[in-house]
Amino acid sequence: MNIALIAHDKKKQDIINFTVAYTPVLKDHSLFATGTTGMKIAEATGLEIHRFQSGPLGGDQQIGAMIADNKMDLVIFFKDPLTAQPHEPDIAALIRLCDVYQIPLASNMASAEIFIHALERGDLDWREIIRKRGEEEA
């Protein structure tokens, strides 16, 4: 599975803690992240992560492009709901793309844990079928 990992500044430690705890699950998947988040996760876990630009510099849009191309299966985006974000339209566009393309989106630790356990059980394997079907049609 292709998994995007994103976190606002005040949530970076949370996503690091999450990825450290679930490294045994995440290591079996292809991981993508926005700039600083990806760097910090890689340093803390040793996981291989494809890093895009930081969110405000287009990283959210790069992940959005993968979603639109049917190349992303799960987005874990720890948002900070209490701080205004200068690139809020990009964030809204990313969330909208997840909704349009039926990509599971976890926006906090609680929902991310539910998805990671679903991933372990194989509950998200339907994404691989959808992705392969899209590749055949292309």
- Give dist(CA 46, CA 40) in Å, integer: 10
Give residues with Cβ within 8 angstroms of 99, minimum separation 6: 105
Q: Residue 99 pLDDT > 90, yes or no?
A: yes
Task: Say what the pTM is.
Answer: 0.94
DSSP three-state, residue 47: coil
**Which residues are known catalytic residues?**
60
Residue-wise pLDDT for 3-56, tens only, equals 999 999 999 999 999 999 999 999 999 999 999 999 999 999 999 999 999 888
Domains of the chain: 2-132 (3.40.50.1380)
User: In this structure, are strands 49-51 and 74-78 parallel, antiparallel, or unpaired?
Assistant: unpaired
CA dist., res. 100 & res. 94, Å (int): 10
